[in-house]
Amino acid sequence: MSPKSESCINLINKADRDLEAAKILYMNSMGRKQITEGICFHSQQCIEKYLRAFLIFHEYDYPFTHDLDKLAGYYAKFDSRFAEFDFEAFKEYGVGIRYDAPSPSIEDARKAIYTADEVSGYVFYKIDIIDII
């Protein structure tokens, strides 16, 4: 397996674990606000890793960033559909939420999971898994 393939598969597996962690936290949150931080963080991480996997798959050299809008902008060079995703709320979910950003609501957490699920499904669909194995 090529290094590109290994990197893509590794990122996809980690992204899937992030999404699963977000869903488990959501199911066990019972409306507790402090857990929403973890839900949103893992949702952001899922999206970030899927975007990175796609860019690596296309051998696109991009600068390291946690900014999903920037990553999506690179992705849009390959697929304009990605410009339709709204990552505004995710700016705080990556790093800021781990420190001093305000806690998201349970509705924000639900939306974060929904977006992560939608992005992961779309990117997985766009990566030809046969080409990376």
- Chain segment 34-61, per-residue pLDDT in tens: 688 899 999 999 999 998 888 888 887 7
Rg, Å, the chain Cα set: 15
Question: What domain count does the chain have?
Answer: 1
Query: Residue 69 — φ and ψ, nearest 5°?
Result: -60, -40
| CATH code of the domain in which 63 resides | 1.20.120.330
Residue 31 confidence (pLDDT): 59
> How far is it, in rounded angstroms, from Cα 1 to Cα 96?
36
Residue 112 confidence (pLDDT): 94
Which secondary-structure segment (H or E) carries 81?
none
Q: Helix, strand or coil for residue 122? A: helix
What letter represents residue 3's amino acid?
P
- pTM assigned to the model: 0.86
Residue 1 confidence (pLDDT): 57
- Chain segment 80-95, per-residue pLDDT in tens: 777 778 888 788 887 7
Domain that holds residue 37: 3-132
Please give the average per-residue pLDDT across 16-36, as a whole number. 85
Query: Residue 78 — φ and ψ, nearest 5°?
Result: -105, -25
pLDDT at 73 over 90: no
